[in-house]
């Protein structure tokens, strides 16, 4: 089936969907985005994603291009036109089209793009083996809480991971503390079973998956610390994992080529993955898709 994209008021064949060369997203990475998981036709944690979108726009002083209800309507149209049931929705809003000039244009209208993509299911092998991460210096700006389309350091680090045979790169500050992955949040479980993930301030993106999982953790009675951890602590950890809208909860079994714990996905990690999958199932309103959800990502 041909793919359809939404671009500034029009639904276009994916191959013909284009923005103007003077779009400030293209010129200056002057824009923000969201990736929303879709499970059985339902946008998971949609309100939280839209809250974060509005917050990112506000921090950059880009106007909401339309009311939230209108964004929701378009997202449903894009999903319907692409017959998407499992995958994710991509939304991007930039400051708009204007002659190239660093300062804000006075008249530009925010530009809106929406696309969807099917999600390839994670193979059972991937879940059984877990994934590897490498650690790299975090060379990004100081406002990582804004979900900006300015992702060059993330792309460089992800490519470095790929070339090292790893799936993700954890970015590390000069003092050795891990901030997050290039497109995921980072978690560890210490040898004495304390779950640790970085507190969400301007240093990291506050993942929606992270937030949803924190709610589940409170319910499950897991011992938990919201603080930064070092690479050294991560190497000595019993378990590690990453979270994101496209990976859900994914076990990390090697860091910089060395096994984490016994080198297999951790027990708590897999329990939390199940908890997140139940959350998604709850959003989709039933248990009949549980098997697909377990392997999705
Ligand atoms: N990335 N940290 C960074 C830097 C991210 O780019 C992402 C998401 C996350 C996890 O956020 P969430 O749980 O809301 O997906 C953390 C998306 C998936 C991407 O860029 O494709």
Render pLDDT for 167-221 as a digit per residue (tens, 0 to 9). Answer: 999 999 999 999 999 999 999 999 999 999 999 999 999 999 999 999 999 888 8
Report the alpha-carbon distance of residue 264 to residue 245 in Å, rounded.
23
| The pLDDT of residue 288 | 45
**Ligand 1 atom 21, closest CA:** 183
Give the SS3 label for residue 189.
strand
Q: Where are the domains of the chain?
A: 4-118, 124-281
> Which one of 3.40.50.300, 3.70.10.10, 3.30.420.140, 3.30.470.10 gives the CATH number of domain 4-118?
3.30.470.10
**Ligand 1 atom 7, closest CA:** 183
Measuring CA to CA, which residue among 213, 193, 199 is closest to residue 274? 213
**Ligand 1 atom nearest 204 alpha carbon:** 2
Q: Is-catalytic flag, 147? A: yes
Render pLDDT for 119-178 as a digit per residue (tens, 0 to 9). Answer: 876 788 889 999 999 999 999 999 999 999 999 999 999 999 999 999 999 999 999 999
| The pLDDT of residue 225 | 97
* Cβ atoms < 10 Å from Cβ of 9: 10
Q: Per the residue annotation, which of 147, 158, 238, 294 is the catalytic one?
A: 147
Report the alpha-carbon distance of residue 219 to residue 278 in Å, rounded.
13
The per-type count for the chain, helices as H runs and strands as E runs, is 9, 15
Q: Which residues line ligand 1 at a C-beta cut-off of 6 Å?
A: 35, 180, 183-185, 205, 207-210, 243-246
| The pLDDT of residue 120 | 76
The CATH architecture that domain 124-281 belongs to is Alpha-Beta Barrel (3.20)
């Amino acid at each position: 089936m041909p793919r359809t994209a939404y671009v500034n008021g029009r639904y276009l064949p994916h191959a013909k969907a284009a923005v103007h060369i003077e779009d400030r997203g293209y010129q200056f990475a002057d824009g923000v985005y969201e990736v929303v998981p879709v499970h059985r036709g339902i946008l998971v944690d949609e309100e939280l994603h839209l809250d974060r979108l509005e917050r990112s726009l506000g921090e950059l002083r880009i106007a909401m291009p339309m009311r939230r209800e209108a964004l929701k309507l378009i997202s449903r149209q894009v999903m319907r036109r692409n017959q998407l049931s499992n995958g994710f929705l991509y939304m991007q809003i930039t400051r708009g089209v204007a002659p190239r000039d660093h300062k804000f244009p006075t008249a530009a209208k925010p530009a809106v793009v929406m696309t969807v993509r099917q999600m390839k299911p994670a193979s059972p092998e991937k879940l059984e083996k877990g994934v590897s991460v490498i650690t790299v210096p975090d060379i990004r700006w100081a406002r990582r809480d804004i979900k900006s389309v300015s992702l060059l350091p993330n792309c460089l680090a992800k490519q470095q991971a790929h070339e090292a045979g790893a799936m993700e790169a954890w970015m590390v500050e000069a003092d050795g503390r891990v901030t997050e992955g290039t497109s995921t949040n980072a978690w560890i479980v210490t040898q004495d079973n304390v779950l640790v993930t970085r507190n969400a301030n301007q240093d990291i993106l506050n993942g929606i998956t992270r937030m949803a999982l924190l709610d589940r953790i409170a319910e499950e009675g897991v011992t938990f610390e919201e603080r930064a951890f070092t690479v050294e602590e991560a190497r000595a950890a019993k378990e590690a994992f990453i979270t994101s809208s496209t990976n859900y909860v994914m076990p990390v079994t090697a860091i910089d080529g060395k096994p984490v714990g016994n080198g297999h996905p951790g027990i708590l990690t897999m329990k939390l993955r199940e908890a997140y999958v139940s959350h998604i199932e709850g959003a989709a309103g039933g248990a009949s898709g549980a098997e697909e959800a377990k392997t999705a990502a």
